[in-house]
């Protein structure tokens, strides 16, 4: 039966920091993780996402602040006593135990009788569709099969929360998509809280209810995948997420539309509270690449740019076009391959990119 996240926090990070000598890996984190939700934590290498997960798992102790699980302070509680199992990037399966024994391991550590743990392990192997592999050595499994064993081993104890650290990073692309489906289905069926650390936007956005974006040990933004994709809270998030174009400039006019003067022209905006800005304010205008139209002739609209084609990236039916503007800056457009078929786009060819005033997002330069 599918379950939806509740509004009750299961985990609370209350002013949590983690320092290693003079280096602060996580700085004053305040975060609530709700019971039954799928939360993804993203950010570049060194942003503090894995350190945050390790503190929740009990593998690192906060330097300051408090972590609470279901209202109970857990800073000093060992990882074994917390019941916060983790699926590792390396999977960390025991090569000297077969599949069945790997899944039973956590139950054995809890002194569950042999007959019960064997039955529970087999139930989870069946649920993961790998029961026929129960007696097989770990070395005989494919990457996807090992992933399912690791999940079964973590879930067989029926925890309230499961931590996942880059669990799909070692899999081939086709297996990643399949395992995303497996993880999403399990999380919804079980109602277990998943906390998922990843560098992959596609993984985070495909599976999670909310996404946390971290930078330099701090949280930059928390929100639904759609909210973060369309309404980044800072220039960092706009650069990190999606295929966004950012034009910086100053406000030269307000009214029914906001006018922004940039190095490559004057543009109009009617989005996200533009009325709050005043003449002279410096802003970043964010235009998502998939909201841009291209043409070989000047469309004659206010929001249009003269570009020169540099290269393209073809992924299935979607093409990302990389172009250069008149000031030498980059600009991206995403379009369907069939919509580009009639255009003779090759290196150096000029074209026009345009977008609607309502398809923009404004960020104050003070929000960097």
- Looking at 3.40.50.300, 3.40.50.720, 3.40.50.450, 3.30.930.10, the CATH number of the domain 9-230 comes to 3.40.50.300
In the chain, domain spans: 9-230, 243-367
Find, among 106, 195, 100, the residue nearest to 155 by Cα. Answer: 106
Buried b (16+ CB within 10 A) or exposed e, 340-356: beeeeeeeeeebbbbbb
| CATH architecture for segment(s) 243-367 | Beta Barrel (2.40)
In the chain, which stretches have pLDDT less than 50? Answer: 1-2, 368
pLDDT digits (tens, 9 = 90+) for 230-271: 999 999 999 999 789 999 999 998 888 899 999 999 999 987
Average pLDDT, the chain: 90
pLDDT for the residue 6: 66
Task: Give CA 169 to chain center in angstroms.
Answer: 13
Rounded Cα gap, residues 244 and 222, in angstroms: 18
Which among 256, 263, 257 has a CA at the least distance from the CA of 330?
Answer: 263
pLDDT digits (tens, 9 = 90+) for 287-341: 999 999 999 888 888 899 999 999 988 877 888 999 999 999 999 999 888 888 7
Q: pTM score, two decimals?
A: 0.88
Q: Which residue in the block uniquely carries the two structure tokens 């305040």?
A: 30
């Amino acid at each position: 039966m599918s379950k939806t996240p509740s509004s009750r926090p299961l985990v609370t990070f209350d002013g949590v920091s983690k320092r290693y000598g003079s280096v602060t890996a996580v700085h004053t984190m305040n975060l609530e993780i709700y019971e039954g939700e799928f939360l993804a934590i993203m950010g570049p290498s060194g942003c503090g996402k894995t350190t945050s997960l390790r503190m929740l798992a009990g593998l690192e102790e906060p330097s300051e602040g408090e972590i609470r699980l279901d209202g109970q302070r857990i800073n000093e509680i060992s990882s074994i006593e917390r019941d916060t199992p983790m699926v590792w990037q390396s999977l960390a399966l025991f090569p000297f135990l077969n599949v069945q024994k790997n899944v039973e391991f956590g139950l054995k550590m809890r002194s569950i009788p042999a007959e019960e743990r064997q039955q529970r392990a087999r139930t989870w192997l069946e649920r993961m569709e790998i029961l026929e592999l129960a007696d097989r050595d770990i070395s005989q499994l494919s990457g996807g099969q090992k992933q399912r064993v690791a999940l079964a081993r973590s879930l067989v104890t029926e925890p309230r929360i499961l931590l996942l650290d880059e669990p799909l990073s070692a899999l081939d692309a086709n297996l990643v998509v399949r395992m995303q489906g497996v993880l999403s289905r399990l999380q919804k069926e079980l109602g277990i809280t998943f906390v998922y650390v990843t560098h992959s936007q596609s993984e985070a956005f495909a599976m999670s209810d909310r996404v946390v974006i971290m930078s330099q040990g701090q949280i930059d933004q928390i929100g639904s995948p759609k909210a973060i994709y369309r309404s980044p809270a800072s220039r960092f998030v706009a650069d990190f997420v999606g295929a966004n174009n950012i034009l910086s400039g100053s406000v030269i006019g307000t009214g029914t539309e906001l006018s922004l003067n940039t190095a490559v022209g004057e543009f109009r905006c009617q989005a996200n509270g533009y009325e709050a800005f005043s003449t002279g304010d410096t802003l970043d205008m964010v235009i998502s690449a998939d909201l841009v139209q291209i043409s070989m002739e000047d469309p004659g609209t206010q929001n249009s740019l003269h570009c020169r084609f540099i290269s393209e990236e073809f992924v299935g039916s979607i093409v990302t076009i990389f172009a250069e503007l008149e000031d030498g800056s980059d600009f991206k457009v995403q379009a369907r391959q069939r919509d580009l078929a009639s255009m003779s786009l090759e290196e150096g060819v000029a074209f026009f990119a345009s977008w609607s005033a309502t398809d923009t997002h404004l960020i104050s330069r003070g929000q960097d």
